[in-house]
Amino acid sequence: MFRSSAFSGATHGFAPGYVQGNLAILPATLANDFLRFCQLNPKPCPLIGMSPRPGDPSIPELGADLDIRTDLPKYRVWRNGELAGEPLDIRDAWRDDLVAFVLGCSFSFEEALIEDGIELRHQACGSNVPMYRTNIPCAPSGPFRGPMVVSMRPLKPADAIRAVQITSRFPSVHGAPVHLGLPEGIGIKDIAKPDYGDAVEVKADELPVFWACGVTPQAVIAAVKPEFCITHAPGSMLISDLKNSRLAAL
C-alpha cells in the first residue's frame, strides 16, 4: 500500500506487533561517521538495520523484499539542511552513494508497556509524546554531535519501576529510561514546555520518566546540514517484518 503511494499518512497503529523504525539516508562520505555515532550512542540511536552497501536500496534484515525508496508512506528530502520536498517515494532522488540507516523507535517499547497494563498519558490524550533537549551530551563522531533528546511519560512510582523492568528488555528500541523524577537534573527547566511534541500533565502522584529519543539523531543530522539527506516524514515510519517481541533481550 505504501509502495504504490496509496497511503501517505502516519503509521502509528499499523501492523500491531511489528517493529517500526526511523529512517535516515546519508551520502557515503558521512555514513561512516554516522554509523560510529550510532554505535557510541546506542540509547538514542539504536541501529536496527542499514544498507548492505552504498546505493543498495534493500535492507534484508528488516524485510525480504524491502525497497527503502518506496516502502514508507512519505519522505522528507533535505538539501544543505533545508527541506526540499516531501515525496511519497524517493526513486527519483536516489543516488549510488546513499546509505540508509533505520533506528528503532519507541512504538515497540510502548506496545510492551501497554500490554502490561500501563497507561501512557500522551496516547490517552491523543497527542504526541513530549520531548526535551537535555544537558546530556552525545559522544561525538566526526561532524555529528549534540545533546540527547528525551521523551517523557508520566507514571506512578510503581509503574515507573515496572517500566524500567519492561523497557530494559528492549535495548534496541531505546531500552531503559535514562532519567526519572528530577527534570532539572538533565537540564529541563520547565516540564510544561517540551522542545518537541505536546505537553502532558504530570500529576502529583506521578514521576516524569525520561527515555532517550529517536529525535536525537534527527536533530544532530539537522545541525550538520548535509548537502543531501533523506528522512521519513514525521510519523510515517518504516514498518519492518520483525516482531517487536523478537527485539526482547530476554
Binding site for a copy of itself (CB under 8 A): 156-158, 160-161, 164-165, 168, 176-182, 185, 205, 207, 250
Helices and strands of the chain, counted as H and E runs: 5, 11
CB of 177 to a copy of itself, least distance (A): 6
Among residues 198 and 201, whose Cβ is nearest to a copy of itself?
201
CB of 119 to a copy of itself, least distance (A): 17
CB of 17 to a copy of itself, least distance (A): 24
Q: Which residue has the cell 510519523?
A: 235
In terms of DSSP H, where are the helices of 18-76? 28-40
The C-alpha angle 64, 65, 66, rounded to 5 degrees, equals 100
List the beta bridge partners of residue 247: none
CB of 64 to a copy of itself, least distance (A): 33
Among residues 33 and 206, whose Cβ is nearest to a copy of itself?
206
Among residues 177 and 194, whose Cβ is nearest to a copy of itself?
177
CB of 158 to a copy of itself, least distance (A): 6
Among residues 74 and 179, whose Cβ is nearest to a copy of itself?
179
Distance between CA atoms of 163 and 177, rounded to whole angstroms?
A: 8
Among residues 180 and 237, whose Cβ is nearest to a copy of itself?
180
CB of 48 to a copy of itself, least distance (A): 22
Among residues 93 and 164, whose Cβ is nearest to a copy of itself?
164
Task: Tell me if 144 sits within 8 A of 224, measured CB to CB.
Answer: yes
Cβ neighbours of 164 (radius 10 Å): 15
CB of 226 to a copy of itself, least distance (A): 32
Among residues 49 and 154, whose Cβ is nearest to a copy of itself?
154
